A and B are shown apart, each in its own frame.
Chain A
């Protein structure tokens, strides 16, 4: 499917956050084009609130695979007034505009992402190859039917497609595959000690972008991250799973979805993801 997109589109790009799902897609791409290099660049939408370990991992990975990195910075948009900081401090919803501008600037007609249908019920309605109009909008009520394994990526100038090679994988599939292939990941995914405080039923990291309020007690706990996103809205879970085998075992018996357990922004409302996706989010 990754090859299919490379064959049919002029200028694909892969959204790469350093999170496990985009790491898996990049790994699959490297295999698909071996012994050659991955024939497209990666794009990182930098919220400015990243975990430093993840940025270091991103740079190492790009170096190891010999591919080009494009970065779109939310901070630039805030500095010159194109975006303004939200009252709640989260920058996740602010990624959409820099993303769409970067797609336009790179003239990318296909954008790979690591989104999976099991993550969220709006994503469950997403196509593997999904058309976006010139405003980057998703029109969930008018999607192309997905028939056999024949993907229809035809588009007109200005439109682009989002391509989701691991749509049908579950969180457990992703972890099992990472374990089988021994794929390197940012250290955040493994159990470590960290200064955290409890908010909204999850452990939030103490850091420059996510300070605790006066009534929130800071403590040191052994935690790991199930998702890696913007520091201001991603929470950790208590865990002592320090290696891949332990994580696979933990995920297999988990009773919470990864987004429900760790993403403050997806708890905003039942349609939080659908609304962001319609605006061009991934």
Chain B
């Protein structure tokens, strides 16, 4: 949908061997996930194209394909329609719109990035929610000539509700307002006021021109009054909320300690019923030692676990001691979120899929009645009395929509009485669950407080839910 976007092709030096070495170790420590959101004409495709192009993430054959299709569409010679890079479906290219979230991958010397490009105009809530639930940061684009629009407020409201750790407002088309500090300051103060209303703590506002490249990769000398980082530098330096803590090569104690207590939703119990792997079976001592191997497997959603730790199991509340940990197939002394592990316990407990292993003394209360904010994503409306399934962690339980309390009006940022939730609505709902779930407030735990609402017969994801306090 972008207008003929002429991106001057800048020759950049080859990435060289330094990059290789830095990426050599492992991808996870430097992984950063972010999403982009904006209205139709804010220049989002151009921004994404610019970031990918200037970080050399677009390879020659992709660029050639885009150039060829751009030329066929009547773009002037050498001009690229960068939306063609992310619009992976024929229907998207034909209609010139982006239907679905697209993922792009690029890296710089210091980080690997996963970019979720969220279309702004079709099913914006659905796409924004999808992009924002896994993002370390969201970039909301604002047209510097138009300032903060309704759509901007909506995007920021969704980002605030989902507690995305870092919010970046990119005031784009700064070239079209003559690189004016006054124009930028006006938009920045509007954005700051909305963010303050919404309770967004970590807001970064910067002036950019995606088309001309100002403040995208390098600080621009045409905005001397702006002394903050360029966009890419910001993305390279913002703390990654979750995954970056995990570096298998460093001992657990050296990592940033996790303030949250251990939480490990049990995926399944490992008992090598199909037999030990041939490698283990070939070693008589090992196969004797591991004959009665029994461990609970799952991905640590928060905290740290060490051999010797006392833990408790939800829902039984029984306590035991961790006697062994395996991560990536090998025995280790400790593991940290978000590693996938298998834990052996001192006692033979009745633990199955759906149980939650927690640090001793931190057992959450089970909840049957849950007040939650729901993001209605399905085309069907949610109505009181409706029967649904709720998936939380590794458990799925039946539930009834006990009451729909209110709908969040994204234009006024207030809750208003409502009887149903329609597609793209956000609203407060009380759910009655068929079994206790260890739901924790989303405000204190993104993992412990998030769940899916699922249609009981066709299995569609109806809504995304976050538990309130």
Contacts and interface: CB of A to CB of B under 8 A. Distances in A.
B80 interface: no
B99 interface: yes
List of 8 A-B pairs having minimum Cβ-Cβ separation, nearest first: A154-B459, A36-B272, A260-B61, A121-B88, A31-B329, A34-B329, A7-B268, A252-B20
Nearest to A125: B88
A144 B228 CA distance: 39
Given A147-B461, A169-B27, 18 more contacts: A3-B268, A30-B329, A34-B277, A34-B326, A34-B329, A36-B272, A65-B277, A118-B104, A121-B88, A141-B99, A148-B446, A148-B447, A152-B461, A154-B389, A173-B27, A249-B17, A253-B20, A256-B60
Interface string B249-283: 00000000000000000011011111111111100
B286 interface: yes
Interface string A120-149: 111111000001000000001101111111
A35 B292 CA distance: 11
B61 A257 contact: yes
Interface string B72-106: 00000000000001111111010000011111110
Contacts of A148: 133-134, 446-447, 450
Nearest to B89: A140
Given A124-B104, A145-B377, A256-B59, A33 B270 contact: yes
A36 B86 CA distance: 41
Interface in A100-122: 117-118, 120-122
Contacts of A123: 88
28 contacts: A34-B329, A34-B330, A35-B276, A36-B272, A36-B275, A37-B272, A37-B277, A37-B278, A66-B281, A121-B86, A125-B89, A125-B100, A141-B100, A143-B100, A147-B461, A148-B446, A150-B391, A150-B451, A154-B389, A154-B459, A169-B27, A173-B27, A248-B24, A252-B15, A255-B60, A260-B65, A270-B69, A274-B88
B329 A4 contact: no
A271 interface: yes
Interface string A163-195: 000011110110011011000000000000000
Contacts of B100: 125, 140-141, 143
Contacts of A140: 89, 100
A30 B277 contact: yes
Nearest to B389: A154
Contacts of B129: 145, 147
Nearest to B459: A154
A6 interface: yes
B285 interface: no
Contacts of A274: 88-90
Given A154-B459, A257-B62, A260-B62, A141 B274 contact: no
A128 B85 CA distance: 21
B105 A170 contact: yes
Contacts of A32: 297, 329, 340
B126 interface: yes
B293 to A, nearest CB: 6
Interface in A23-42: 30-39
A263 to B, nearest CB: 11
Contacts of B377: 145
B336 interface: no
Interface string B18-38: 011001101100000000000
Interface in A226-269: 248-249, 252-257, 260-261
Nearest to B277: A37
B88 A122 contact: yes
A74 to B, nearest CB: 27
Contact of B102 (A7, A125, A150, A270): A125
Most chain A CB atoms below 10 A, which of B62, B100, B328, B394: B100
Contact of A156 (B114, B286, B298, B458): B458
A176 B277 CA distance: 25
A64 interface: yes
B204 interface: no
B285 to A, nearest CB: 12
A253 to B, nearest CB: 6
B277 A66 contact: yes
Contacts of A82: none
A155 interface: yes
A249 B20 contact: yes
A268 B389 CA distance: 44
Contacts of B435: none
Contacts of B177: none
B454 interface: yes
Given A173-B27, A260-B62, A261-B61, A7 B99 contact: no
